[in-house]
Amino acid sequence: MSSSRLHYPTICASLTVLFLFIFAFVSLGTAQDVISPPEAPAAKVDEGQPTDQAEKKSKLRRFEVGIHGTIMFQSDFEAADVVYHRAGFDYAVINDRRYESGIGGRLTYNINRQLAVETEVNYTPGTKTLTELAQAGQSTNVPFSGGEKTQVLFGAKYGYRGKRFGVFAKVRPGFIHFRAFPYVVGKFVVYHNGQPYDMLVLSSEKPATFFNADVGGVFEYYTSKRTMIRFDIGDTIIHYNAQKPRDVNPTFTRHNLQMNFGFGFRF
């Protein structure tokens, strides 16, 4: 029997393309900021008075500090699922999809009005691990949760910044740490008439850290000279490298839709 799959790579790619299309549309619209109707000649100003361009540049707030809530729609990350699938047992793949919410913080440095570098840290408490469920006397007939997760990102955003809002594309690599990542301890294949019929996979939990990258877009609304609201949407790509024992823990990659919404200060 087969189970339906949510095509997360397709969803993430479609959302990213849509955001970049909006980004391009807004950027083209900003041409009006450059082509403005002629104005009456301005009175001569003192040499010490700053020009409009210098005054506009001085209004750029170099630093931003923000807090936000984050939610990640995670693709299945159990190595056991990959082992089942690669052995041809599609019906045995759990296809566990979940979403986890958490909190995060961000520090941004604006190099200019278009380009900025930033770092972000997110923390998701997660559900109880199987070990915690067993210790509490609760049922362990549930998928592995991965436990608490800490995500660190560092990268750049580039786009358009207006007086009231900004639209940017972002690329931010980093790492994500699982407090209780599920790994395969061993596997046993059951044969029938000389052909693989079923498979038993034994799994356990342990801490593990993996490379991840956030690719997507950012929308900012500047509520005042010092405050802002920010919305992020992107594809968080996690590369799960093989764990020990490596002969039963394959390397695989998953795409995950992730969104942030928060508040920030500019100074």
Give the up-direction half-sphere exposure of residue 84: CA atoms within 13 A in the CB hemisphere. 19
Cβ contact 262:233 at 8 Å: no
Residue with tokens 């941004």: 108
Q: What is the DSSP string of 104-140?
A: EEEEEEESSSSEEEEEEEEEE--SPPHHHHHHTT---
The predicted structure's pLDDT at residue 192: 83
What are the backbone angles phi and psi of residue 126, rounded to the nearest 5°?
75, 175
The predicted structure's pLDDT at residue 27: 46
pLDDT per position as a tens digit, 13-69: 555 555 555 555 444 444 444 444 555 555 454 544 545 554 455 589 999 999 999
pLDDT per position as a tens digit, 239-263: 999 999 999 999 999 999 999 999 9
Produce one character per residue of 148-174: b if its CB has 16 or more CB atoms within 10 Å, e if not. bbbbbbebebebbbeeeebbbbbebeb
Cβ contact 152:203 at 8 Å: no
pLDDT classification of 197: cutoffs 50, 70, 90: confident
What letter represents residue 99's amino acid?
Y
The predicted structure's pLDDT at residue 226: 95
Taking residues 145-149, report their average pLDDT.
Answer: 94
pLDDT classification of 220: cutoffs 50, 70, 90: very high
Enumerate the domain spans of the chain: 8-27+69-256
CA distance 172 to 158: 12
Taking residues 127-138, report their average pLDDT.
Answer: 90
Average pLDDT across the chain, whole number: 83
Among candidates 5, 7, 11, which has minimal Cα distance to 233?
11
pLDDT per position as a tens digit, 88-111: 787 665 667 789 999 999 999 999
Residue 177 sits at the vertex; the CA angle it makes with 10 and 73, to the nearest 5 degrees, is 30
Question: Is residue 11 over pLDDT 80?
Answer: no
